[in-house]
């Protein structure tokens, strides 16, 4: 009969009207500045550069290899490679001096948060941050982040992405162990046993 469907609909909205007062399932709104959702671990916004030790400039893991610059889909990264080499402060390059980025700029107004730079980086040097309240009144300078703005300690990475950071640290430890094992193996004719064991332990976790 005419009107049944309309009455059904009215009942449904009424149910939702009262339901929104009683059930958290229905009223899912989060009132943002007062309440905040917990960001999932995977959340990603813009990249940052990881550094070890306390000195952001010396401890940067980045060796200015420019892979991310090439692979970045919107090409928002611009790197200038240094002329000289700096000593291995972070201790992941088996003490060999490395090149470093003289300039490392990311234009975050262009960046599309795709995470490809993170995936292609062979040195675990660039990672995704999850800070999202980044508005600025400086339209050009404020959105062109230089390497000081981008540098974040490894502890920050461990804090925001614990699982990924553990994997990344393990991978680095393994690499380090291998690098240490190699000269040891070359020096002593006997195969260096402790190092591979250590590497194996690192992969297991």
Number of residues engaging another protein in binding (CB under 8 A): 40
CB of 123 to another protein, least distance (A): 14
Taking the least distance from each CB to another protein, the nearer of 72 and 192 is 72
Q: Which stretch binds another protein (CB under 8 A): 38-46, 79-87, 94-102, 190-198?
A: 38-46
List CB contacts of 27: < 8 A, sequence separation 6 or more: 20, 21
Per-residue interface string for the shown chain with another protein, residues 102-131, x marking contact by CB under 8 A: ----------xxxxx--xx-------x---
143 binds another protein, rule: CB under 8 A: no
Taking the least distance from each CB to another protein, the nearer of 95 and 162 is 162
CB of 82 to another protein, least distance (A): 24
41 binds another protein, rule: CB under 8 A: yes
CB of 13 to another protein, least distance (A): 5
Binding site for another protein (CB under 8 A): 1-6, 8-14, 16-17, 19-21, 26-29, 31, 40-44, 67, 71-73, 112-116, 119-120, 128
């Amino acid at each position: 009969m005419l009107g049944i469907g309309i009455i059904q609909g009215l009942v449904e909205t009424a149910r939702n009207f009262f339901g929104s007062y009683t059930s958290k399932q229905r009223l899912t709104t989060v009132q943002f500045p007062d309440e905040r959702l917990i960001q999932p671990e995977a959340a990603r916004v813009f990249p940052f550069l990881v550094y070890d030790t306390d000195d952001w400039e010396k401890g940067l893991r980045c060796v200015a290899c420019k892979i991310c610059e090439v692979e970045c889909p919107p090409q928002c990264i611009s790197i200038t490679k240094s002329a000289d080499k700096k000593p291995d402060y972070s201790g992941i390059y088996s003490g060999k001096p490395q090149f470093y980025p003289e300039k490392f700029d990311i234009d975050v107004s262009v960046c599309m948060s795709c995470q490809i730079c993170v995936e292609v980086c062979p040195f675990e040097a660039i990672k995704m941050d999850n800070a999202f309240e980044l508005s600025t009144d400086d339209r050009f300078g404020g959105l062109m982040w230089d390497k000081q703005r981008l540098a974040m300690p490894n502890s920050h990475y461990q804090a925001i992405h614990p699982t990924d950071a553990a994997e990344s640290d393990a991978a680095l430890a393994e690499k380090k162990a291998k690098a240490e094992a190699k000269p040891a193996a070359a020096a002593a004719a006997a195969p260096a046993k402790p190092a591979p064991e250590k590497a194996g332990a690192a992969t297991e976790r």
